[in-house]
Amino acid sequence: MKKILGSCPSCHALNKIEASDVKKQPICGKCKTPLAFHDLVQDVTTEEFDKIVRNSSIPIIVDFWASWCGPCQQYGPTFQMVSNEYGGHVQFLKVNTEKNQDLAARLGVRGIPATMMIKDGKITGNIAGAMNYDQLRSWVEQNK
């Protein structure tokens, strides 16, 4: 199983983590701060996103969302459930567009929820709107 990258919320160091170890509440190898994951999904800032994209050897799926967005709130649990199926083969990130407007604008996010697939630093898939479990799994398979 390939490792996913976890960005430390304290020192912003990148940590390589076995997907099977994420549920064991991993800590940062540099500063020992607990790494925050929800299943295999990590909320990231613009800086953390950029680091992970530059250093990832596996495809990355990103959910762009906001706290006030009803469809985003409904889609979040589906995104988390699908992340568990791809542990270590695909990295799952969430970006809060309220806190990271610059990143959303840079990547051309026009509406939320929006889901993007990134491979080798390039956007290879992009879809707007919430998907159900089967739709998201199918989209991941088509784009990974």
Backbone angles phi, psi at 112, to 5 degrees: -130, 155
Task: Quote the pTM value.
Answer: 0.83
What percentage of the chain carries pLDDT values higher than 70?
A: 98
Question: Is the preceding omega at residue 26 within 30 degrees of 0, hence cis?
Answer: no
Q: Give the relative orientation of helices 70-85 and 133-143 as an angle to the nearest 10 degrees.
A: 60
CATH number at residue 138: 3.40.30.10
Which tens digit of pLDDT belongs to each residue from 31-48?
998 887 766 788 999 999
The tally of domains found in the chain comes to: 1
- Structural domain that includes position 14: 3-143
Could you give the residue numbers annotated as active site? 69, 72
